[in-house]
Chain A
Amino acid sequence: MDPLIVTQAINLVYAVSTLAVLALGLAVIFGLLGVLNIAHGEFIMIGAYCAYVTQSGRWPYLAAVPLTLIVCGVLGWAVEWIMIRPLYRRPFDTLVATWGLSLLLRKIAEAIFGLGFYSVNIPLPGTVHFLDTEYPIYRLLLIAVSLIIVIGLVIWYGGSRTGSRIRAMISNPELAQAQGISVRRLAAGTFIVGTCLAGLGGVMLAPLIPVQPFMGLDYVLRAFFVLIVGGLGSAAGLLSGAAVIGGVDSVVSATSSATDGYFAVLVLSILFLWLRPRGIVAHS
C-alpha cells in the first residue's frame, strides 16, 4: 500500500489513542464525580515537568512515573480536601474554583521553572519499519501503552469491588453511605485517580512536545471536546468521543489542512452540544 496512506492511518490511531488517555483523567473526574476540572491540563503539565525533572536528575525515564504519581496524588488529595469537597453537586462553582486552581498551578510552575521551553529527550529515539513505512518507535509504543491504560482501567472499573462501590456511590450516595461505603473517601480516591491519570498522560507526551507552563491549555480543550461528543460516565463514551474528535481531526488534517481539521473539530463539538448534548453514548 502507499506508504503515505499507511503513515496517515497510523497517525490516526496515534491521535485517537493519545487523546483517549489524555481525556481519561477528565472523564473519571467529570464523568463520575460531576466535577468539571478545568485544571486537568495543568495536571498534564505537572506530569510533563516531572519527566523533565527526572531527565535533569539523570534518572531513568520510567522514574518519572512514580514521581508523577506522588506529586499528582498528593496535589489531587489536597485539592479534593480543601477545594472540591465543599463544592460537590455545585458544578458551576467547581468550574470556577478549578479555573482558579489552573491559574495558580501555572503560576507555581512559572515560579519554579520560569516561562521558557524545556525539551525532554525521547527515551526511544529513531524510527522502525512498520507496515511498509518508517514510523517513530516511541509513538508506536505510546499507542500500545495508551490502549493498555484505557482498557485496563475499564476492565478494573467494571470488574473490581471498588468499581462497583463507585457505581453505587454515583447512583445513590445516601444509600451507598448507609451500606457502609465511605462515600467521602471513595470520592477523594476517584479524584486522585483522575489527577494521577492526567499526570501520566503528561509523562507520556512530554518527549514529543515543548514543556512550558501554558501547555495544559492545549489539552484541556480537546479533552472536553471528547467528553462532549462521546458522553459522560462510560468507557464507550470516552472511546467513541476520542475516536470521533481525534479521527476527524486527523483525517481532515491529512487530506486537507490542519486549519480545516481544527475547524471540523469545533463545528462537530458545537453540533453535538446543540443537537445531542448528552453525547454519542448517553448515560442513563
Chain B
Amino acid sequence: MSIRKQGPTRRTLLGAAAAGAAFGTMPGLIRPATAANEFKIGLFIALSGPASLFGPTQRACADLATEEINKAGGIMGRQIKLIPTDAGGPPAETTKSAIRLMLEENVDVFVGSHDSATREALVGTIKGKVPYVYTPVYEGGECSFNTYVTADTPEQQIRPSLTWMMKDKGAKSIYMIGDDYVWPRKCNEQAKKYIAESGGKVAAEEYVPFGAPNKFEEVVTRIKSAKPDAVLITLVGADNVNFNRTFAGFGLDKDIARLSLLLEENTLHGVGADSSKNLYSCMSYYENAPSAAAKKFKADYVAKFGDKAPQLGRIGADCYEGVYCASTLVTKAGGTDAKKCMAASEGITFPTASGDVTMHGRHVDKTMFLADCNGTEFNIIKTFADIKSGDECKPD
C-alpha cells in the first residue's frame, strides 16, 4: 500500500533538506535520566508526502493503544513512549531514520504502517535486531527473522472477495489495473490463481507508473473496449481516486463492477458519491464494521479525540493493533530478545480495532468484511469470519 508522489526536481531538493534536518537532530546523545526506563516504540507512519493524509489517524490510533496499555501498567512495568517517524518519503530516507532510532534512541520495538517497498528496505536495515511489526494490507510472503505481520493478506482479502465477485456476481473476465510496484504486481499474481480456480479469465493486466502524474482516459477507453465483467484495482491514493472518477465519468460504472484492494474511508471521500456505484472493497476494518469490538473502538476513539478526530479507516486503525501486538509479544517473551520473541509469537492473542486476533506463523487469522459503496460510505454486505492468513512462516 501507499502513495508517494513527488516531482523529481523536488526530490533532490527535499533530500538535501532532509540531510540538513538529520544534522540538526544529531546532538540528541544526552538523554534525560527519567527516560531510561521507558519502553520505546519506533512508529513508522506517513508524516510527509501525499500518504501523510493517513498520518493523523495512524498517530491517533497508536496513541489510543499506548494510553490504554500505559494505564494498565505498561509493558512489563515500563511505560510506552511512541517515537513517530516519517515513512512517507523514499524508502532510503526511512531506513536512515531506522538506523538513527536503533543507535541513538535504542528503540525496543518497531511498528510500521507503510508501503511494501519501504518494508523490504526496512527489513534489510533492521536485520532482525529489533522486533518489527508490519500492519496495513499487503501482498504476503514476509517471513524475515524477527518480523511479525498483522496486515491483511491476499488469502484473506483477495480470495474471498474475488471469489464472491465471480461466483455470486457472475463475473467471468477480470481486468487488472494497478500502480507499478511490488504490492500490485504480487497481489495480481495471487489473484490470477484465484481467478483460475473459479474458472474465470484475466482480460488484461496493466500498470501505470507509481508516483507519476497519471491520467486515466486512455486506460478507461481500453477497458471499455475489452468489455470485462469486473475490474480489480490495485491503484493507491490519488491514482485510485482519479481512475475511479474517470471510470464513472465515461459511464462504465453501470455495467462493470470494480473491486479495489486499497479503498478505505479517505480514498472513498475522494472518489465521491457520483463515482462510487458498483464499487467494492474488502478489508479487516471499516469505521462502521458490524462487530461489537469495532463499535467500542470507535467510541473510545471519539471519547479521546472528540468529534473532529481524524477519519478512521484500515490504514490508521492498523497502528492500534500494531502497538498491542508489540506489547503482547514482548510481555510474553519477557523482553525483546529476538529468539525469545520468535518463539513467543506463536499463539499470542491481542486486540485490534475490530476484535481479538491470534498470531500463527507470525501472521494473524482474522475476520474480513466485504463492502459496497453507498455514496461516500461503506455498506458491509458480507462478513468472512476467521480467515487463515495463508502466509504462515515456519518457526525459525
Contacts and interface: CB of A to CB of B under 8 A. Distances in A.
A257 B270 contact: no
Contacts of A14: 217
A240 interface: no
Contact of B225 (A4, A135, A218): A4
A163 interface: no
Contacts of A3: 225
Given A4-B221, A11-B221, A208-B246, A217 B212 contact: no
A116 B266 contact: yes
Interface stretch (B62-70, B93-101, B166-174, B271-279): B271-279
B213 A219 contact: yes
B241 A139 contact: no
Interface in B42-84: 49-50, 52-53, 55-56
Interface string A145-182: 00000000000000000000000000000000000000
Interface centre among A3, A11, A117, A136 (most CB of B within 10 A): A117
The majority secondary structure among interface residues of chain B is: helix
Given A117-B270, A122-B274, A262 B225 contact: no
A26 B52 CA distance: 28
A126 B251 contact: yes
B37 interface: no
A119 interface: yes
Contact of B271 (A11, A119, A211): A119
A222 B213 contact: yes
B5 A217 contact: yes
Interface residues of A, number: 47
A37 interface: no
Nearest to B208: A258
B266 to A, nearest CB: 5
Given A254-B222, A257-B207, 7 more contacts: A3-B225, A4-B222, A99-B10, A209-B238, A214-B5, A221-B8, A259-B180
Interface of A: 3-4, 7-8, 11, 14-15, 99, 114-122, 125-127, 134-136, 138-139, 208-212, 214-215, 217-222, 250, 253-254, 257-259, 261-263
Interface of B: 5-10, 13, 49-50, 52-53, 55-56, 180, 206-209, 212-219, 221-222, 224-225, 238, 241-242, 245-246, 249-251, 266-267, 269-275, 311
15 contacts: A99-B13, A115-B55, A117-B271, A119-B245, A119-B271, A135-B250, A210-B238, A210-B242, A211-B270, A212-B270, A214-B5, A254-B221, A257-B206, A258-B212, A263-B209
